[in-house]
Structure 1
Amino acid sequence: MKLTVIGGGSTYTPELTDGFSRLRDVLPIDELWLVDPDDERRELVAGVSRRMFARAGHPGRIRATADLVEGVADADVVLIQLRIGGQAARLGDETWPHEACCIGQETTGPGGLAKALRTVPVVLEVAEAVRRHAKPGAWIVDFTNPVGIVTRALLQAGHRAVGLCNVAIGFQRRFARLLDADPSRVRLDHVGLNHLTWERGVLLDGTDVLPSLLQDRLPELAAEVELPAPLLETLGMVPSYYLRYFYAHDRVLDEQRHERPRAAQVMDVERELLRLYADPSVDEKPAVLSERGGAFYSEAAVDLIASLLSDRGDVQVANVRNDGLLPFLPDDHVIEAPAMIGADGPVAVPVAPLPADLQGLIGHVAGYERLALDAALHTGSAARGRQLVEHALLAHPLVGQWDRAERLADLLLARNAEHLAWAR
């Protein structure tokens, strides 16, 4: 099997390599191709990845290239993990929204829109190369944020794609630790949109233990997601960390204005990682990689790909077409929920009706996401492009005011014009 990673020069990639090494019985890889335009990063990451495979006794070969067509040719699976503009663009996403009194974040709010605009056109170019040169029926697994918007762009263009996020598997592992149980015994009632999800149930061997966890471990659960304990009590569920930007917007904005941006912290971690990757004695995943983010990414990716290729029909959380699961959303919208994963692709499994407040917030953000994708796909005039950006910003619940949307559009376009063909 040939598996190709687009963005293979990412400092994340050794997390994948580690998972592929440990779980090779689940996902036997003959060739792992790393595609990245950055020669230095690509070769450093390929070098440490080869040493990791050798240390683990993995028989697969690792190849690295800047040539997209060579990289995806005859691939069975293509995993996309891109950050267009790198950490510098992320730093912008996390800071310029503050000038209009909005949170700065690379996957939601104004910064998330900027990332979608930069990312969607490039991902679609990659997907067209996969369509032309990979094996017939090859799968695209998208780990590129904003995952929901990017995955919908891929599906709308007719690609065989599924979106992946590590939030759900992170929660599963945390709950398993709280319960002192093997993770295989824990299943989540996880539902929403990418980075807008709630854990409505925690099933241990089929029995929902979330009510008892909320009673017995409430302070710990609240601290985990950095939200007030009374909020979790009121909801009767555990929101993801990303709900902080909605449920505690002003507090988070104040924190962001007084703290060092996450992107700046990641830049420091990446410099250290690249230094370690260059050391020929390093042949395992460095401990500092845990500070980079993406925990359990490799396990989630291996499980998803293995089920797609071997038709296991097990249930995993993925980003998939709604197809009526949430009746208040269009069928073609992409949601994040448990899905049965088989050779024909993921199919979301039924969920209990959502309470009105969750429906309202999900519907509001979904409306923004659809406008965001319209703006990301725009290829016409600058005036029309700006109008689409303003409309998407206005529709986002974290913006919602015309004057603010206009100001944010100015800031967004000033910082991202080089990545937007229509804005140059």
Structure 2
Amino acid sequence: MRLTVVGGGSTYTPELVDGLARLRDTLPVDELVLMDPATDRLELIGNLSRRILTRHGHHARVLTTPDLDKAVDGADAVLLQLRVGGQAAREQDETWPLTCGCVGQETTGAGGLAKALRTVPVVLDIADRVRRANPGAWIVDFTNPVGIVTRALLQAGHKAVGLCNVAIGLQRKFAALLGVPPASVHLDHVGLNHLTWETAVRLNGPDGEDVLPRLLAAHGDTIAADLRLPRALLDRLGVVPSYYLRYYYAHDEVVRELRTRPSRAAEVAAMERELLTLYADPALDTKPDLLARRGGAYYSEAAVDLAAALLTGTGSPYQVVNTHNNGTLPFLPDDAVIEVPATVTGTGPTPLPVAPVSPLYAGLMADVTAYEHLALEAALHGGRDRVFQALLAHPLIGQYEYADTLTDQLIAHNREHLAWA
């Protein structure tokens, strides 16, 4: 089995390789191809990947190349984990929206739209080349904004599934609080990528006992602290929102914080420099503890499970993925991309039935789905008016003066990545 990682020079990659090594019985990879145009980082990551696999007695070959067509040739699955513009573009995404008093963040709001506009054309070109090389290959998208990117891939007819680590992170956290194995915890996880709620936490499968009320009663303070939301809010809602909901539920508070501290991009860039120094040590053959602070915790387990289900029919029976709605949430269009538990087989994911969703959450999902539609139109066809419309539609912006100003700033900061600008 041949697995290709586009963006293989990412500091995330050792997390993935560690999972492939530990879970080789779940996903028996023979060749791991790391592709990245940054050849200096690529060789560094490639060598560490070989050492990690060797430490675990895994005999997969690790190949590195800056040539995309060579990398995807013969691939059974292609994992996308790229960042167009690098951390420098992320720094901008997190900064210029603050001038209008709007959240600066790389996956939502104006910054998220900028990332989508840079990323969608690049990903679609990659996917076209994957399809030419091997029409049967699956594309697993871990590239943000996952919902919009996955929608672009599916709309273009690609065999694609979107993946995020939020759900698996919460599953592991809840399992630890409950003192049970992670596999016994099933989440009623509903929403869009980075806009989700846990409406139930069930033991032993999707029909098991809902222990969310017990979990909140016993551990609400811990959960609230992790989300940086008030415990009283969780008690009133009776659900656990994704930590990304803080951008909506505490927008002005977040903006004040962002204006007074270094950007997350600056923190990550410093962390990456330290990680790359560690990776260069020829004695290092494990992923360093610092990597957990980089983000993407449990990404490897989620990716291995998903690839195994798509390619071999093994892996966890239920997985949280990003895929077409197709009537799962009746208040959203069928071609919307939602993030819900699904059964995954070689033919792709099939969402599990979802209980009726409260208007408190359904309304916000519908608003953001409409924004994502407009964002994808802007990414595919360009034009200032399309960018303006997407920003005006976004619940975190919504005022025409802000949308006008942010449109001009987005184009100015991203002109080199926008073919139409």
Q: What is the TM-score when the length of structure 1 is the normalising length?
A: 0.97
Return the offset for 1:235: 1.2
Choose from 255, 259, 277 the match for 1:253.
255
User: Aligned residue for 2:127?
Assistant: 127
C-alpha separation between the residues in 1 aligned to 2:350 and 2:76? 20
C-alpha separation between the residues in 1 aligned to 2:151 and 2:187? 23
C-alpha separation between the residues in 1 aligned to 2:75 and 2:349? 20
C-alpha separation between the residues in 1 aligned to 2:393 and 2:273? 38
User: Aligned residue for 2:369?
Assistant: 366
Q: In the alignment, does 2:412 pair up with 1:409?
A: no
Return the offset for 1:286: 1.1
- Correspondences of 1:280-319 after superposition (within 5 Å): 280-312=282-314, 314-319=317-322
Task: Using the TM superposition, name which of 309-318 and 262-271 deviates more.
Answer: 309-318
Question: Secondary structure at the residue paired with 2:9?
Answer: coil
Q: In the alignment, does 2:114 pair up with 1:118?
A: no
Q: Percent identity, aligned pairs only? A: 63
Question: Secondary structure at the residue paired with 1:323?
Answer: coil
Q: In the alignment, does 2:55 pair up with 1:46?
A: no
C-alpha separation between the residues in 2 aligned to 1:19 and 1:393? 38
Q: Which runs of 4+ in 1 moved over 6 A?
A: none
Question: Secondary structure at the residue paired with 1:314?
Answer: coil
Return the offset for 1:419: 0.3
Question: Secondary structure at the residue paired with 2:356?
Answer: coil
Return the offset for 1:66: 0.5
Choose from 389, 393, 416 the match for 2:391.
393
User: Aligned residue for 1:233?
Assistant: 235
User: Aligned residue for 1:382?
Assistant: none
Specify the code of the residue in structure 2 equivalent to 1:290: A
Alpha-carbon deviations, 1:101-125, whole Å to 9, x = none?
1010000000000000000000000
Return the offset for 1:203: 0.6
Q: In the alignment, does 2:139 pair up with 1:165?
A: no
Return the offset for 1:137: 1.4
Identify unmatched segments of 5+ residues in structure 2.
none
User: Aligned residue for 1:144?
Assistant: 143
Specify the code of the residue in structure 2 equivalent to 1:408: L
Return the offset for 1:221: 1.5
Identify unmatched segments of 5+ residues in structure 1.
380-384
Return the offset for 1:399: 0.3
C-alpha separation between the residues in 1 aligned to 2:214 and 2:47? 48
C-alpha separation between the residues in 2 aligned to 1:33 and 1:72? 8
Specify the code of the residue in structure 2 equivalent to 1:194: N
Return the offset for 1:50: 0.8
C-alpha separation between the residues in 1 aligned to 2:221 and 2:288? 32
Return the offset for 1:127: 0.2
Return the offset for 1:216: 2.1
Choose from 344, 349, 358 the match for 1:346.
349
C-alpha separation between the residues in 1 aligned to 2:175 and 2:267? 29
C-alpha separation between the residues in 2 aligned to 1:217 and 1:49? 38
Return the offset for 1:224: 1.4
Specify the code of the residue in structure 2 equivalent to 1:400: G
User: Aligned residue for 1:55?
Assistant: 55
Return the offset for 1:334: 0.3
User: Aligned residue for 1:264?
Assistant: 266
C-alpha separation between the residues in 2 aligned to 1:355 and 1:290? 34
Alpha-carbon deviations, 1:303-358, whole Å to 9, x = none?
01101112248111000100001111110110000011001100111010100111
Question: Secondary structure at the residue paired with 1:99?
Answer: helix
Specify the code of the residue in structure 2 equivalent to 1:308: L
Return the offset for 1:282: 1.0
C-alpha separation between the residues in 2 aligned to 1:347 and 1:149? 19
Specify the code of the residue in structure 2 equivalent to 1:284: T
- Equivalent pairs, count: 417
User: Aligned residue for 2:198?
Assistant: 199
Q: In the alignment, does 2:213 pair up with 1:211?
A: yes
Alpha-carbon deviations, 1:245-284, whole Å to 9, x = none?
0000000000111111111010111001111111111111
Return the offset for 1:207: 0.9
User: Aligned residue for 2:224?
Assistant: 222
Q: In the alignment, does 2:8 pair up with 1:5?
A: no
C-alpha separation between the residues in 1 aligned to 2:228 and 2:46? 37
C-alpha separation between the residues in 1 aligned to 2:257 and 2:175? 30
Specify the code of the residue in structure 2 equivalent to 1:278: A
Return the offset for 1:234: 1.5
Return the offset for 1:94: 0.7
C-alpha separation between the residues in 2 aligned to 1:361 and 1:320? 19
Question: Secondary structure at the residue paired with 2:14?
Answer: helix
Specify the code of the residue in structure 2 equivalent to 1:183: P
C-alpha separation between the residues in 2 aligned to 1:83 and 1:261? 17
Question: Secondary structure at the residue paired with 1:273?
Answer: helix
Q: What is the TM-score when the length of structure 2 is the normalising length?
A: 0.98
Return the offset for 1:208: 0.5
C-alpha separation between the residues in 2 aligned to 1:290 and 1:224? 15
The alignment's C-alpha RMSD in Å is: 0.9
Specify the code of the residue in structure 2 equivalent to 1:146: P
Specify the code of the residue in structure 1 equivalent to 2:20: F
Alpha-carbon deviations, 1:347-394, whole Å to 9, x = none?
111010100111110000000000000000015xxxxx1100000000
Specify the code of the residue in structure 2 equivalent to 1:227: L
Question: Secondary structure at the residue paired with 1:112?
Answer: helix
Alpha-carbon deviations, 1:158-211, whole Å to 9, x = none?
000000000000000000010011101101000000000000001123211001
C-alpha separation between the residues in 1 aligned to 2:264 and 2:155? 32
C-alpha separation between the residues in 1 aligned to 2:220 and 2:142? 31
C-alpha separation between the residues in 2 aligned to 1:326 and 1:4? 33
C-alpha separation between the residues in 1 aligned to 2:381 and 2:288? 41
C-alpha separation between the residues in 2 aligned to 1:217 and 1:63? 45
